[in-house]
Amino acid sequence: MEEIEKLLREIKKFYKKEGRSHLPWRNTHDPYKILVSEIMLQQTQVDRVIPFYNRFIKQFPTSKTLAKAPLGEVLKTWQGLGYNRRAKYLWEAAKIIAQEGFAGQKLPGVGPYTAGAISAFAFNKPEVFIETNIRTVFFHFDISKYKKTRKISDKELLPLVAETLKRSKMQPRDFYAALMDYGASLKQNGVKLNSRSKHYTKQSKFEGSARQLRGALLRELLKSSANKAQLIKKFSPARSRGEIERELTKFIAEGLLTFSRGRYAVAAK
């Protein structure tokens, strides 16, 4: 297909001149470090992730050091990055990896994309996967040839990614890095096409959201345990009793908090 050849010419040219080789996770093939980066990059911008990644890897340089750490310490290091369940998933995954390695393991928080990215970037395997920047590139070059009024599924795009990878003659880790870097550049230059995807959802605003309240509650409880009355007093009237109770209940269900003798605390294990 002519469109694939055009795409490959463009991404190879761009990658050679402007590839993001400065990204710290690009300078390692360690699957643990790549897992950390991929979990952090879920729903978070690259530039925001870099300092958190560097700090996290300094604190927990291996899966074994992370696996041995108390959950509270992990959450403190994660603070400010948001979506704290990701930190717990990563901590749980480290426990599995430390004992059994990566091969064939079902890891918490790791879906098809993350598993594919680890295979490509750590092990250089020709896995086929899609994420937001890859979608942008394929929509930009209109390789799918679908009407622009119709939403396109990843299932429809995956064969095109596979064909492009095959034709590229590139190492898988370089192919995906080039695609992602080019897609990120398109977005920075105002090319926003992911609304054409069936999987596109617009992120809700942070101010006043449950995400904001969850972060505030966790920060408070990382300082010390507290009872419900103390937490309601701390966050009212900006947040209602019902909102606070709902998020505390969710935290317990997720294993991030415990409730004992009338007090909430960050889970120890």
Per the annotation, the verdict on 38 as an active-site residue is yes
Which residue, 91, 165, 153, is CA-closest to 124? Answer: 165
- Two tokens at 173? 């880790």
Can you spell out the DSSP letters for 53-122? HHHHHHH--SHHHHHHS-HHHHHHHHTTS--THHHHHHHHHHHHHHHH-STT---TT--HHHHHHHHHHH
Whether 267 and 257 have beta carbons less than 8 Å apart is answered as: yes
Catalytic residue among 38, 127, 131, 247: 38
CA-CA distance, 240 to 246, in Å (whole number)? Answer: 10
Please identify every residue annotated as catalytic: 38
